Amino acid sequence: MLDSVCLVTSSRAFWQAIWQALLLVAHARIPALTYLSARFDTMAPHAPSRELMLGALAAGLSDGNVLVQRAALDLLIAHLPADTTCVFAAVLVCFS
């Protein structure tokens, strides 16, 4: 269903809304992380700001639900190179 929403809306606005849901809506984090993990490669040309992505990942990593933490970590491991400063910044924000 989300794929069809993406097709009829602005791709940039759609991806920004998914990342904002991950950041702001605790009960939507697992579905958002699952969708992002499955469609991360299609998002690349329409990626939102680095700050939004970092904040959302930090929210996922610091969530009280271990399943959300695991899904956020899986997204990081699968799609973001561990040697980038972006990943280190997300981890520092989360654990500081």
How would DSSP label each residue in 69-80?
HHHHHHHHHHHS
Condensed to tens digits (0 to 9), the pLDDT of residues 22-65 reads: 999 999 999 999 999 999 888 878 888 888 988 999 999 999 99
Q: Is the dihedral of CA 85, 72, 80, 57 positive or negative?
A: negative
The mean pLDDT of the chain is 85
C-alpha to C-alpha distance for 35 and 29, rounded to whole angstroms? 10
Residues 63 and 69 sit within 8 Å (Cβ to Cβ): yes
